Amino acid sequence: MADKEGLKTAKNYRPEIPFAGGRLPGGIKGVGGLDWGMQRRMTHIFRPDDGKTVMLAFDHGYFMGSTSGLERLDLLIPELMDGVDVLMGTRGAFRTCVPSGNRCGLALRVSSGSSVLDDDLSHEVVAVGIEDALRLDADAMAVQVFIGADGEKESISNLSRCINEGLTYGIPTLGVVAVGKQMERTPRYFKLATRMIAELGAQIVKSYFCDELDEIVAACPVPIVLAGGKKLPEKDALEMVRRAMDCGVSGVDMGRNVFQSACPAAMARAVSMIVHADASAAEAWEAFREISHEKT
Ligand code: 5RP
**169-203 core/surface letters (b: 16 or more CB in 10 A; e: else):** ebbbbbbbbbbbeebeeeeebbbbbbbbbbeebbb
What pLDDT score does 57 carry? 98
Nearest CA, atom 1, ligand 1? 60
What pLDDT score does 296 carry? 66
Q: Is 26 in the pocket of ligand 1 (CB under 6 A)?
A: no
| CA-to-CA dists, residue 167 to 67, 91, 172, 196, angstroms | 34, 21, 7, 18
What's the chain's average pLDDT? 94
> pLDDT digit string (tens) for 237-276?
999 999 999 999 999 999 999 999 999 999 999 999 999 9
295 in catalytic set: no
What pLDDT score does 285 carry? 98
Nearest CA, atom 14, ligand 1? 60
List CB contacts of 136: < 8 A, sequence separation 6 or more. Answer: 91, 94, 95, 106, 108
Nearest CA, atom 5, ligand 1? 227
> pLDDT digit string (tens) for 82-128?
999 999 999 999 999 999 999 999 999 999 999 999 999 999 999 99
Query: Could you state, in order of their start, the residue ranges of all structural domains in the chain?
Result: 35-262
Say what the pTM is: 0.94
Distance 59 CA to ligand 1 centre (A): 7
Can you name the CATH fold of 35-262?
A: TIM Barrel (3.20.20)
Distance 254 CA to ligand 1 centre (A): 7
| CA-to-CA dists, residue 55 to 81, 114, 249, 268, angstroms | 10, 24, 13, 9
- Give the CB-side neighbour count of residue 220, counting CA atoms within 13 A: 31
